[in-house]
Structures are given as structure tokens and as C-alpha cells.
């Protein structure tokens, strides 16, 4: 045992009470922000993407000055609402990235989860994507962040498949961002036009995506049944392309 123990700092009781009060106040403000964001989402659903601060304050049951105590400006609220929407979408997409099944099943589930979400919250989607509410440049872009997260998750899956098949996975990141952009653009068009059902749009997009994947595989002499489960750890269920096989054997 040391003859010179380190001194123990004694925190005055008044200082400890002050720290506890500050922590409670931070938690209170955090909870109030969540409440106001949820009120904003409800107001957007009622009044559309062009909703105003008056509408949001009324939905929250407070005055605009109270609302502005928790958000520095409209752009601050826009970012918070965008983050709420992004988290909602990712809660629905994350489980689908890790679900097993055939390629077609996995593609369709991801598409349906995405399209189902924007169909359920069309005005929220327009509010966030079109930024009609932001009155100045925002400190972060929830839409860009969302697309990056989705594309990165897709890159991981595609990369695993390509590497398991012995193919070059160097382009999966660019490929994934392209697919995400295509689906988002198609979703924008669909929400505005509503000229086909969600199921039909899912069918068309799934077909386009699979044909792109199938083209890459066939160029390497591989053919995969898109309706059969593909276990990358054991049986890849890969058969050589007939034309390629004939070429290989002269």
C-alpha cells in the first residue's frame, strides 16, 4: 500500500445537484425535440410538403416561439425531420438486406419495402427530397446520407456474391449507387404519376435489376436461376452458360 495515496476529489453537493439539473434539462430538451419532429411529420401528412411553421406549431400544441427554442431555424427542423424519415426507411430495409432467399425474392423485398414506405408517407418524402421547407443551406443532407447507407449495404451484398463466384467486385460501389439512384428516380416518377400499381412497378424494377446482374454473370460464362436460393457459403447452384461451354470445348 502506498504511503502517499492519491487525493480524492470531493464534489460539492451544490455542484452535483447542478450537474444533475443540467442533465435532466438536456434530456427534457431532447425529448421535446422528438415530440416536435413527430408533430411535424403529422402536420406534413395533413397539409402536404408545403407545410408552414404555423401548421407544425399548431399540431404540436405550442406557439412558434416555443418551437424555435428547440430548433435554430427552419433548416434545423428540416434536417431533424429528414433524419426521422431516413431512420424509418432504414428500419424497414435493414432486415431485408440480411434475409435469405432467391435473388428475385431478395430484390423484390427490398424494392417493396422502399416503395411501400414512400407510398405510406408521400408528402413526407416530397418534403424531404424537394427541400421545400428549408430556407437556407442545411448543415447535412439526410437524402444523400440515406442513399449512401443503402448503396453501401447493397455493395456489401453484391460484393459477397461476386467474390464467391470468383468475379471482380471492384465496380460494386459504383454499380450500387447507380441502382439506388434508378430506384429513387423511378419512385419520384411513380408518386407523381400513379400510372401503375406498386406491384407492377416492383415487377418492372426487379426485372431491370436482375437483367443487369444476369448480364454481368453471363459475360463471365455463368448462369444462375433467379428463383432459386443462392447460398454463397455452400452450394452456389451455378451452371455454365451453354454457349460459353461450347466455345470452351471448341
Per-residue pLDDT of the chain (250 residues; tens, 9 = 90+): 455 556 555 556 665 566 666 677 677 778 889 999 999 999 999 999 989 889 999 999 999 999 888 888 888 888 899 999 999 999 999 999 888 889 999 999 999 999 999 999 999 999 988 765 555 555 667 778 888 889 999 999 889 888 888 899 999 999 999 999 999 999 999 999 989 999 999 999 999 999 999 998 999 999 989 999 876 644 444 444 444 444 444 4
Q: Which three cell numbers stand for residue 27?
A: 434530456
d(CA 93, CA 215): 26
d(CA 137, CA 122): 23
Q: Are strands 222-223 and 239-240 parallel, antiparallel or unpaired?
A: antiparallel
d(CA 72, CA 32): 14
Which of 3.40.80.10, 3.10.129.10, 2.60.40.3080, 1.10.357.10 is the CATH number of 72-234?
1.10.357.10
pLDDT digits (tens, 9 = 90+) for 103-145: 999 999 999 999 999 999 999 999 988 765 555 555 667 778 8
Q: Which three cell numbers stand for residue 185?
A: 428516380
Burial class (CB in 10 A: 0-12, 13-18, 19+), 185: exposed
The domain locations on the chain are 72-234
Q: Which three cell numbers stand for residue 47?
A: 397539409
pLDDT digits (tens, 9 = 90+) for 159-183: 988 888 889 999 999 999 999 999 9
d(CA 93, CA 97): 7
Contacts of residue 85, defined as CB under 8 A and 6 or more positions apart, other chains included, come to 41, 121, 124, 125, 128, 142
Amino acid at each position: 500500500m502506498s504511503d502517499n495515496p492519491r487525493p480524492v476529489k470531493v464534489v460539492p453537493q451544490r455542484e452535483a445537484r447542478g450537474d444533475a439539473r443540467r442533465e435532466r434539462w438536456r434530456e427534457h430538451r431532447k425529448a421535446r425535440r422528438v415530440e416536435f419532429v413527430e408533430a411535424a411529420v403529422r402536420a406534413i401528412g395533413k397539409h402536404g410538403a408545403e407545410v408552414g411553421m404555423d401548421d407544425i406549431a399548431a399540431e404540436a400544441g405550442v406557439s412558434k416561439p416555443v418551437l424555435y427554442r428547440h430548433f435554430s431555424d427552419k433548416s434545423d427542423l428540416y434536417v431533424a425531420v429528414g433524419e426521422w424519415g431516413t431512420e424509418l426507411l432504414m428500419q424497414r430495409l435493414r432486415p431485408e438486406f440480411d434475409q435469405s432467399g432467391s435473388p428475385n425474392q431478395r430484390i423484390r423485398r427490398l424494392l417493396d419495402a422502399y416503395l411501400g414506405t414512400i407510398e405510406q408517407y408521400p408528402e413526407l418524402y416530397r418534403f424531404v427530397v424537394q427541400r421545400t421547407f428549408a430556407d437556407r443551406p442545411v448543415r447535412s443532407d439526410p437524402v444523400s446520407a440515406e442513399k449512401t447507407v443503402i448503396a453501401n449495404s447493397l455493395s456489401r451484398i453484391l460484393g459477397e456474391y461476386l467474390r464467391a463466384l470468383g468475379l471482380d467486385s471492384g465496380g460494386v460501389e459504383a454499380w450500387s449507387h447507380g441502382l439506388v439512384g434508378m430506384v429513387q428516380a423511378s419512385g419520384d416518377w411513380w408518386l407523381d404519376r400513379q400510372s401503375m400499381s406498386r406491384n407492377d412497378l416492383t415487377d418492372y424494377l426487379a426485372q431491370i435489376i436482375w437483367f443487369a446482374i444476369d448480364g454481368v454473370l453471363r459475360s463471365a460464362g455463368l448462369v444462375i436461376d433467379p428463383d432459386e436460393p443462392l447460398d454463397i457459403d455452400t452450394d452456389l447452384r451455378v451452371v455454365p452458360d451453354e454457349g460459353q461451354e461450347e466455345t470452351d470445348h471448341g
